[in-house]
Amino acid sequence: MTEKVLEVKNLKTYFRTMEGTVKAVDGVSFDLYEGEILALVGESGCGKSITNMTIMGLVKSPPAIIEGEILYNGKNILELSKEDYRKLRGKEIGMIFQEPMSAFDPLYTIGYQLFEVCKTHLGLNKKDAKPKIIEMLKKVGIPEPEKRFDEYPHEMSGGMLQRIMIAMTLITNPKILIADEPTTALDVTIQAQVLNLMKNLQKEFNTSIIFITHDLGVVSELADRVHVMYAGKIIEKSDVYGIYETPEHPYTKGLLASRVIKEYKDRELPHIPGFVPKATNFPDGCRFAERCSFCTEKCQKVSPELIKTSEIHETACFLYGEDTNEKDN
């Protein structure tokens, strides 16, 4: 396989709240390879965004507690100074956020904000930056980019802002792109354009992409590999075919079964019964146990670790055996 560009090792991000410690990310490990698209899916609130915000150095610690390692070019970036992190972010690792509005300052025009990025990370002056910005805005499908250049964020629709944010991130040509729900605000015809754009860009520049989404249709179209998260942990890893053709974890199966299809019209939609345990109060055993129809006594006591179930697949569920090495040690 190609080279690893990012290694996340046993990452934990905890928040202290009045009710106790929120274990938003609780021991997450994964690798990102050069030029791949890795999709991250899972229950809302399971820690997808916080995992990636931590990678981006956007979770303030303290107050948050962060443990583990994030290796980029062999260096643990969690140990970087604020200043070095800022340089890395934006230039080497770019992020497209779930909420586009918060990425922009309402007081400045779109053009000015894009120019700031070009100045800081590419050292461009106004004259050289403008054509580059206009071209990028065109690339992401903004009509009349010259006019939009002088407009303010609130004058754009949600979808348009999302595309401008994509332009702002891609303009520095980052090595790693983290995209958190980048197409949720777009209609499906524009979504298709944006996904194609990201895919072409990724091919052209060999960018590695972490793609967070709830849309399993998009995942099937785009991803090389898929990681499924549940309650702060990754509970299944596979290549994209494995997830759709031989899903293993009962949560993953439940998620796939929740697809809205035409036959359900005028009927109740199937879903996984129950709710995620609270992030302040995870049980000792499997975090999915309470909602799982295969739950045994053991599941309620012991938390299953990810084990390799095939060449391409890892699952954290006792239905697929257990990691004997770990037990012996």
Q: Interface residues with ligand ATP (CB under 6 A)?
A: 15, 17, 22, 24, 44-50, 98, 155-159, 185, 279
Stretch that binds Mg ion, among 59-67, 78-86, 150-158, 311-319 (CB under 5 A): 150-158
Task: Give min distance, CB of 322 to other proteins, in A.
Answer: 26
Q: Is residue 216 a contact partner of residue 259, using CB atoms and an 8 Å limit? A: yes
Question: Does residue number 198 form part of the binding site for other proteins (CB under 8 A)?
Answer: no
For residue 103 the two structure tokens come to 């990425």
In 3D, which of 77, 39, 36, 31 has the Cα closest to residue 58?
Answer: 77
Q: Three-state DSSP class for 63?
A: coil
The answer to the question of residue 20 lying near other proteins (CB under 8 A) is: no
Judged by CB under 5 A, the residue of 13, 49, 162, 252 near Mg ion is: 49
300 is a site residue for other proteins (CB under 8 A): no
Q: Does 293 bind other proteins (CB under 8 A)?
A: no
Give, as ranges, the residues between 95 and 134 that touch other proteins (CB under 8 A). 98-99, 101-102
Q: How far is the CB of 242 from other proteins (least distance, A)?
A: 10
Q: Does 294 bind other proteins (CB under 8 A)?
A: no
Residue number, 76 or 157, with CB nearest to other proteins = 157
Our finding on whether 315 is near Mg ion (CB under 5 A) is no
Which of 158/270 has CB closer to Mg ion?
A: 158
Q: Do 210 and 32 contact (CB within 8 A), yes or no?
A: yes
CA-CA distance, 115 to 152, in Å (whole number)? 14
- φ and ψ at residue 264, rounded to 5 degrees: -85, -5
Asked if residue 183 binds Mg ion (CB under 5 A), the reply is no
User: What is Dmax (Cα atoms) for the chain?
Assistant: 68
- 187 contacts other proteins (rule: CB under 8 A): yes
51 binds Mg ion per the rule CB under 5 A: no
What is the DSSP secondary-structure string of 211-257? EE-S-HHHHHHH-SEEEEEETTEEEEEEEHHHHHHS--SHHHHHHHH
Query: Which residue number is nearest to Mg ion in terms of Cβ?
Result: 49
Q: Could you please report the per-residue DSSP string of 146-199?
A: HHHTTS-GGGS-HHHHHHHHHHHHHTT--SEEEEESTTTTS-HHHHHHHHHHHH
The CA distance from 308 to 305, in Å, is 10
Q: How many positions of this chain bind Mg ion (CB under 5 A)?
A: 2
Site for other proteins in 28-87 (CB under 8 A): 41-45, 49
Is residue 314 close enough to count as binding other proteins by CB under 8 A? Answer: no
Stretches 48-56, 108-116, 245-253, 301-309: which one binds Mg ion (CB under 5 A)? 48-56
Site size toward other proteins (CB under 8 A) is 68
- What is the rounded CA–CA span in Å between residue 151 and residue 110? 6
Cβ within 8 Å of residue 74, ≥6 positions away: none
* Calpha distance 252→197 (Å, rounded): 29
The DSSP bridge partners found for residue 13 are 25, 66
Give the binding site for other proteins (CB under 8 A). 15, 17-19, 22, 41-45, 49, 98-99, 101-102, 141, 143-144, 147, 155-160, 162, 181, 184-193, 195-196, 199, 214-218, 220-223, 240-241, 244, 254-255, 258-262, 264-265, 268-272, 275, 278
